[in-house]
Amino acid sequence: LKKRLQALEKKAKIQHPAVKFLPEGKRKRILVTGGAGFVGSHLVDKLMIQGHEVIVVDNFFTGRKRNVEHWLTHENFELIHHDVVEPLYIEVDQIYHLACPASPPHYMFNPIKTIKTSSIGTLNMLGLAKRVDGRLLLASTSEIYGDPEEHPQNENYWGHVNPIGPRACYDEGKRVAETMCYAYKKQEGVDVRVARIFNTYGPRMHMEDGRVVSNFILQALQNLDITIYGDGKQTRSFQYVDDLVDGLIGLMNSDITSPVNVGNPDEHTIEEFATIIKDMVGPTSSKIVHHPATEDDPQRRKPDIEKAFKGFGWRPKMPLKEGLTKTIEYFRAELAQEENNSPN
Ligand code: NAD
Ligand code: UDP
Ligand code: UDP
């Protein structure tokens, strides 16, 4: 065990030689719920490198210890196995509240649990923020706009959500989470920030996540059919995870208390994504095929991001092809590792 810990410490130092030292007054105690997940773990990396004390709370439903493993022995880091549906009593300055399954197959797997996580989980984190007089940032979503009738989506748009459809557990869960943030702000003076996150991709996306970027890359890498749901004319705008992390930290430390879109306005049809990814993965015998459309699938999605730019000077920087290259490399390595670990 000692050897393993030493190896991890070494790994953390090699991977992150530049953890800054922040003096007591500047160093914050930051809770990241869902910090072992895809977005959360990248956020943790950045906050750790900035020199803060970071506490991750995760129930490992879709997250993995491996995503934060390199910090386990660092004195500024703490990992707590906990479900946010249960109350949590700790002392912190800031809370990034990300805990919630995010991909449609995951959040539809147990819709009641998804609703509990968004509602009771957010209530608990707001109760915590209130007690410690801390600031809470909610990871909300572009899904609160539903299948939008306005394009691009601006923060003033109220959305178009089917409250009883298959996506409702997630969409309405996040909508009520936003509502709770502003009720706690108004009634209890809790300091809140709300980020409406648009589709995000990058390394550490869950392999069986079912989201379009991970599906298409894995399918192309394994010479499987690339599955377009519906006619492929529906659009999405994808941001790279590092851009999102910068946006979340920028918003948390800004004065903007109303909701802010964080996304990349570079919009493509799903058909275009299939072709781009297939071409980028290189020689593959994968064919692009069409499957039936999913119910209530939003047809167009693109963020208006002027508010984030004016408010805290944030704009996404990563071009799609560069971000996809990094993501493809990640999945290639993951598949190779799986193959090495398989008994045959
Ligand atoms: P993810 O599934 O990788 O991460 C979610 C994390 O929350 C996981 O580590 C999971 O184990 C944990 N979790 C789930 N339920 C929990 C509970 N009850 N208690 C404690 N931990 C719990 O997803 P992600 O893509 O990293 O998403 C993070 C956040 O960002 C989510 O709130 C999601 O709604 C939001 N978001 C993500 C995207 C995106 O494209 N990735 C888009 C919009 C919004
Ligand atoms: N809560 C928590 N941690 C805290 C403070 C509160 O998990 O540090 C939970 C608490 O269990 C409650 C919820 O947050 O269910 C809302 O708290 P609040 O104080 O608003 O409500 P009350 O306890 O007065 O019902
Ligand atoms: N999609 C697809 N094939 C897949 C996975 C998803 O065509 O294998 C489509 C899906 O129908 C949707 C878009 O890609 O129109 C984005 O889906 P994802 O689940 O990634 O995110 P969300 O619907 O939450 O934006």
Rounded to 5 degrees, φ, ψ at 262 are -130, 105
pLDDT one-digit tens code per residue, 109-158: 999 999 999 999 999 999 999 999 999 999 999 999 999 999 999 999 99
Confirm if 185 and 242 have CB atoms less than 8 A apart.
no
Confirm if 177 and 138 have CB atoms less than 8 A apart.
yes
Distance 272 CA to ligand 2 centre (A): 47
Distance 2 CA to ligand 1 centre (A): 32
Q: Per-residue confidence at 85, pLDDT binned at 50, 70, 90?
A: very high
Confirm if 104 and 162 have CB atoms less than 8 A apart.
no
Name which of 152, 154, 145, 143 is nearest 261 in CA terms: 154
Distance CA(90)–CA(132), nearest Å, equals 8
pLDDT at 200 over 60: yes
Which atom of ligand 1 lies at the shortest distance from residue 209's CA? 2
Model pTM?
Answer: 0.95
Distance 62 CA to ligand 3 centre (A): 18
Confirm if 167 and 127 have CB atoms less than 8 A apart.
no
21 pocket-lining for ligand 2 (C-beta < 6 Å): no
Question: Where is mean pLDDT largest: 41-45, 205-209, 292-296?
Answer: 41-45
Confirm if 199 and 190 have CB atoms less than 8 A apart.
no
Other Cβ atoms within 10 Å of 55 Cβ, number: 22
Distance CA(140)–CA(126), nearest Å, equals 14
Confirm if 51 and 28 have CB atoms less than 8 A apart.
no
Residue closest via CA to ligand 1's atom 23 equals 102
